Structure 1
């Protein structure tokens, strides 16, 4: 059984095959040269960070299936300054178009020591930005971005840092290691 931790860079498709039509974009095949592994879960093209890949279907289901409620922690750069009211809403659950989210772990954090993003996040002199750590137990489409927007804190940068017991630690973008 193979379990691979991959630090997916911004702009990389979370699949091994290229998209049809549109401009060519890098895929997992450009980085991970291990046959027979597939992503356990997904990260949007504009999200970065920890992606787990495995050749074990049961492990893939346990990681990706929301029924198992495996915690996923994201470092989220948001536009604005989160106050206790906004963090409280995230902690209690947020109403989205597809229903109420489960309660999340949410805390303001100091700017993490991350790699530079290419392209860089837009910077505006008149609008502050800050970072929060958000831990969710489900995996709806673009859930973290929709949750922060719902409490008035649009996401500028999204980095998945941890999935269950596995985390990025010192793994540079575009690199992977086998557990």
Structure 2
């Protein structure tokens, strides 16, 4: 039966197993042979990354035609207005493409681990959090979306992909699951704001986490 690894990718880790001169890589956290990322997460983003040892499962997770929703908790510069949230929900023209409609809501400051290094904040400019769920994953899409509506991203944490959530995993920790391929068509649209981001604003901090540590 195919296996899936849920990894809480720390900030600054590059999504590759080969050595990198400037960054830690997945090899520093996942020392299980035969697993490869199903999709990616930018080096300066944190949170849920899926890896699998099965090519079919990898394709089903990463192929945009399946439109697995991805939920992010986004710390932005500024306080989002109703109009800005509406723009994110309706779709944002980024020049080279227009994003699909998304789910978006304000988010109370979540109880998550501190980022290392911490974000750069300005005393004269407030910051706040939003929960954003998209069904696509173009290069740096979330950061481009928030910047386009006047809310530059300060911190980006992915908390869910489809039915899989980050719950209980501290940065650098992983959890292994067995997956039945025949179950995937029934869960490809399984996660939305109300059940993932809006339901709970707590995730594992540095002093906790119930997953297995990779490596």
Q: What TM-score, normalized by structure 2, do the two folds share?
A: 0.81
What is the aligned counterpart of 2:101 among 92, 100, 103? 103
Gaps of 5+ in 1: none
What is the aligned counterpart of 2:146 among 123, 145, 148? 148
What is the aligned counterpart of 1:91 among 89, 92, 103? 89
Contact (CA 8 Å) 1:72, 1:163: kept in 2 or not? yes
Deviation string, structure 1 residues 81-120 (Cα, Å, up to 9, x no partner): 0011000000000001221100000000100011010000
Contact (CA 8 Å) 1:16, 1:28: kept in 2 or not? yes
Q: Distance in 2 between matches of 1:161 and 1:137?
A: 14
Q: Distance in 2 between matches of 1:18 and 1:138?
A: 29
Find the counterpart in structure 2 of residue 59 from structure 1. 57
Shift of 1:41: 0.5
Matched, 1:72 2:73: no
Q: Distance in 2 between matches of 1:93 and 1:160?
A: 19
Find the counterpart in structure 2 of residue 17 from structure 1. 18
Q: What TM-score, normalized by structure 1, do the two folds share?
A: 0.96
Find the counterpart in structure 2 of residue 41 from structure 1. 39
- Corresponding pairs, count: 176
Contact (CA 8 Å) 1:96, 1:146: kept in 2 or not? yes
SS at match of 2:31: coil
Contact (CA 8 Å) 1:74, 1:160: kept in 2 or not? yes
SS at match of 1:99: coil
Q: Distance in 2 between matches of 1:112 and 1:136?
A: 19
Q: Distance in 2 between matches of 1:2 and 1:26?
A: 24
Aligned CA-pair RMSD: 0.7
What is the aligned counterpart of 2:115 among 103, 114, 117? 117
Contact (CA 8 Å) 1:18, 1:24: kept in 2 or not? no
Find the counterpart in structure 2 of residue 171 from structure 1. 169
Find the counterpart in structure 1 of residue 6 from structure 2. 5
Shift of 1:24: 2.9
Q: Distance in 2 between matches of 1:159 and 1:134?
A: 10
Shift of 1:124: 1.1
Deviation string, structure 1 residues 112-156 (Cα, Å, up to 9, x no partner): 011010000112110000000000000100000000001000000
